[in-house]
Structure 1
Amino acid sequence: MIKYTKIFLLPLIILFYSCGENPFESQPVDVIERGEIVKILSEYDVSQAELNLLFNEFDLPGGIEINLRNGIKVISAIYRTIDYNGNPADASGLFVIPKTQGIFPLISLHHGTQSKRDNVGSQSAMFSLDALVAGALGYVAISPDMLGLGISNLVHPYHIADVNANTSIDFIRAVKKYASQNNIQLNGQLFLAGYSQGGYTAMAVHKKIQNDLSNEFAITASAPMAGAHDLVGTARFIISNNNYERPSFLAFMIYSYSRVYNLGDLSQFFQHPYQNLIPTLFNGSLTTEEIDGALPNTLSQLFNESFLNSMRDSSEQVMTNLLQQNSLLDWAPQSPVLIVHGNADTYVPYQNAIAAKERWEANGAPNVELVTINGGTHTSSIIPAILTAISWFEGFRIEMGNYIYASR
């Protein structure tokens, strides 16, 4: 549930001197199938020297350096997927191709909470820095915007597992087809990762592929970071106190569920005047920080008293059942999983990491590791978590150009 901070903005200005749009006309609607690119919005190259200049601007913890291996091609695109009801819909995203010879693994990277429609990779690469790094390390990297963001005008299905899994998987399909059509060789490996909401989405994708699409995809490994896998437990943790410093997060989830699942009037969830204000706040024009400024931190002022009390005493059924339906504890990932979480996280409680590891292993998951960032908050853990995941993934890499890696 975190956004990339403004520290990334200044260095990325360097990148945009290299940008050049190269759109082509969309194909007729009736010939575009699910999992295909509809239109390229922009594409441009970034050299290894430019990338080194960019990332040298970062003050990484412990003097860590990112040893980039190659330049990249950055592509923003619209692709065909489905909406909440299974109807054809268009979504957008960014993907990155290594500018070097080799046979590449594919990695799908999922962003944290975004409420402003333009604050995603297809609109600005500053919101997909992890994909730029992965591409420069020799991965074909994808960063889906998700429904309701980028070019999509739908309500974003915030923490709704199957919908977000479908959107991400269709972008994987689209990029694989692009690679095949452009003589870009993939080695068959597929990695999944994300931070905060992205950590949750990564595991929603993992579950969907394992349960329904194992004949189409084989997951090499997943690294969910600071994800809310236990949605019921997370909601109860937040409302156990009457104050929450990021009210936009909980309001976003309740609003999204009410619209995707057609739950009726918002007054059953929100106090006056917020039941009327919420749709405007989440219309895609505001950041979560701006929305936080328009909402009270005191939950009893924001939420309907009856709803809040019933959530607290566990008597509420409708929302609780939907949160349970979208939680990701009751399954057993069969591919290796690395959970990374800071134990001082007050946005997404660290208990999510403990519960996920315990439940997945109890259900039969053979390889789940947990790395705890001691004293790490939701914000301070971002860079250490991503660097930990990158290092862990490298142990699974089997081939990239002249680089050969041992497969675990």
Structure 2
Amino acid sequence: MKTMYLLGAVAAASLLVACGGDSADNLGVVDNTPARGALIQSPPPRTAFFTAGDFAAKLNASANGRNLLAVAGTPKCGVDVQYIKYGTVGGAGEATDATGALMTPSGGPDCTGSRPIVLYAHGTTTVKSYNLANLLDETSAAYSEAALIAAVYAAQGFIVVAPNYAGYDASKLAYHPYLNADQESKDMMDALSAARKALPGLIQPVKDNGKLFITGYSQGGHVAMATHKAMQAAGQTVTASAPMSGPYALAAFGDAVYYGNVNLGSTLFTPLLINSYQKAYGNIYSQLTDIYEPAYASGIDTLLPTDTPLSSLLAPGGKLPQTALFSRTPPTAPAGSPPSLQPTLNAISPPTTPPELAPLFALGFGTSNLITNQSRLNYLLDALANPDGAVPKLTNALPPANPANPMRVAAKKNDLRNWTPTRPVLLCAGSGDPTVFYNVNTQLMQGFWSSPSPAAPAAGLLTVLNVDSAPTGASDPYAAAKAGFAQAKAGTALAAVAAGASDGGASAVVQAYHGGLVPPFCNAAARGFFQQVTASGL
């Protein structure tokens, strides 16, 4: 979901001059009617290039950059960044295009020749101009994530292919197919195909050594897993994958939110998701007020992604409410409902259990809410379709058998509890995540894969890492990631207290948890996992 990496501005002005990209006039060969996976501009323009020393100096110029280096390690390779454009499809299968970053290592003995590829999927963003190939402009929305993947992967000898996704940057698609597993896996595979076509023609060419690692964070965790699933089904090589903090069990996650477990950022994610599924399936609503309150309905289907700042979107009287997804007034049970239904609706508007999460859930309810009570009730009546109307448990390993509500049908279609990997997978996340809940995503995915065959992978293929847990001992391969995360979390709280926070820094930790605290440590763990898989010869 929302990804706001807290790295800050880190480049010196001299490096901007020394490490610039190609001239915009150097177009090469341009294909204006690209097929899927075709490279639109060949060779792709180089937008940035750094020696290992330059990149280290760039990051060492700020405290946040030094923090990144402490997690990622000192760069051993230079980093070249190319801007790729390629043909792909939209959510309804329509032909379109997309852009992305191709980062290649250069310099030392472990940086040239044949190198492994990391196919990386980025997290949710509302910013239309999001471009991971822009590693020079530290004011750009994508800079922090671009710097992170450059430092963790490219500067350590991996080729990185990182799509911006259809609907972002210069893509002609007028919307983004958000959490559409079929489309986004195709987008990733098309970006990979285009990048492989580009490799031989680069200024400093490198070769694909045949090892492919797939990873991504938040939305990108879902995209990464969907891509592994799709490539495996197509018989294409995947060496290993490391989905991170993703909404894999999408049907359960959607149910949790509508039951009142409203996640942080829901007023942004929900319009993206509804618009995506309306474009793909055409049956989510007949008119916008079927879903949204009139105060927000007009134009919401074309609102996101946008380059309008979040502060404007979420301001009082803005296009979206800041946190109130649902009404504080409970929906009214229809006539003839089981007697227990109205008390159930009352109890989840908002829920008060577990008590430690009640303040977070309460933020999702208000008087200027986004989703109408009737729309929420329609969803809940489908989710609560059982004899006594009690709230079902969210711990089932399988998605709902026969959902009828269009949003629940769409969520099940894009739920990833329906395949078994045949290559190693690391699931990394933090158990305190307020945005993508650990218990109804990572744990449910683990539970599905722990169930009897055919769901269970072969022994040793699945690793689950909770970075917000204590090391299990001296032999714990992820002890450093866990210890580093604990230190970063404590530092965030202490900084908030020093700035005057009266809650011990708890709110600051909640705000930073998903977008700032977890990503560096999960990405570093993913890299270690990929290196371990390579070393083991799997």
TM-score normalised to structure 2 length = 0.69
Amino acid at match of 1:160: N
1:111–1:198 contact (8 Å) kept in structure 2: yes
Amino acid at match of 1:369: T
> C-alpha distance in 1, partners of 2:32/2:299?
36
Structure 1 residues 15 and 91: CA distance shift in structure 2, 3 A: farther
* Greater Rg by CA: 2
> 3-state DSSP class of the match of 2:294?
coil
2:332 is matched with none
Structure 1 residues 65 and 317: CA distance shift in structure 2, 3 A: closer
TM-score normalised to structure 1 length = 0.89
1:106 corresponds to 2:117? yes
| CA-CA distance at 1:287 after TM superposition | 5.0
Structure 1 residues 42 and 116: CA distance shift in structure 2, 3 A: same
Unaligned runs of 5+ in 1: 398-404
2:363 is matched with none
1:121 is matched with 132
1:282 corresponds to 2:285? no
Amino acid at match of 1:175: A
Q: 2:424 aligns with which of 326, 336, 344?
A: 336
> C-alpha distance in 1, partners of 2:70/2:96?
45
| CA-CA distance at 1:25 after TM superposition | 4.8
> C-alpha distance in 2, partners of 1:163/1:169?
10
Moved more, 168-177 or 354-363: 354-363
2:39 is matched with 37
2:525 is matched with 388
Structure 1 residues 331 and 15: CA distance shift in structure 2, 3 A: farther
| CA-CA distance at 1:115 after TM superposition | 1.6
2:449–2:456 contact (8 Å) kept in structure 1: yes
What is the 5 A alignment of 1:145-184?
145-153=164-172, 154-181=174-201, 184=206
In angstroms, what is the RMSD of aligned CA positions? Answer: 2.4
Structure 1 residues 50 and 350: CA distance shift in structure 2, 3 A: same
What is the 5 A alignment of 1:8-407?
8-11=8-11, 16-17=16-17, 18-22=19-23, 23-29=26-32, 32-39=34-41, 40-56=44-60, 57=62, 58-60=65-67, 64=71, 66-100=73-107, 101-124=112-135, 126=143, 127-133=145-151, 134-153=153-172, 154-181=174-201, 184-212=206-234, 214=235, 217-241=236-260, 244-246=263-265, 247-263=267-283, 264-287=286-309, 290-293=312-315, 294=318, 295-296=320-321, 297-298=323-324, 299-300=326-327, 301-313=369-381, 314=383, 317-351=405-439, 352-362=441-451, 363-366=455-458, 367-374=461-468, 377-379=513-515, 380-397=517-534, 405-407=535-537
| CA-CA distance at 1:61 after TM superposition | 8.3
| CA-CA distance at 1:90 after TM superposition | 1.3
> C-alpha distance in 2, partners of 1:231/1:158?
12
Structure 1 residues 342 and 283: CA distance shift in structure 2, 3 A: closer
> 3-state DSSP class of the match of 2:428?
strand
Moved more, 2-11 or 268-277: 2-11
Deviations 1:216-271 (A, max 9, x none): x3111111110000112111222322765421112221222223322332211111
> C-alpha distance in 1, partners of 2:379/2:527?
38
Deviations 1:339-375 (A, max 9, x none): 0111111111002111111212430312111101227
1:61–1:384 contact (8 Å) kept in structure 2: no
Structure 1 residues 329 and 13: CA distance shift in structure 2, 3 A: farther
Structure 1 residues 50 and 72: CA distance shift in structure 2, 3 A: same
Unaligned runs of 5+ in 2: 137-142, 328-368, 386-403, 470-484, 486-512
- Aligned residues with identical type, % of pairs: 22
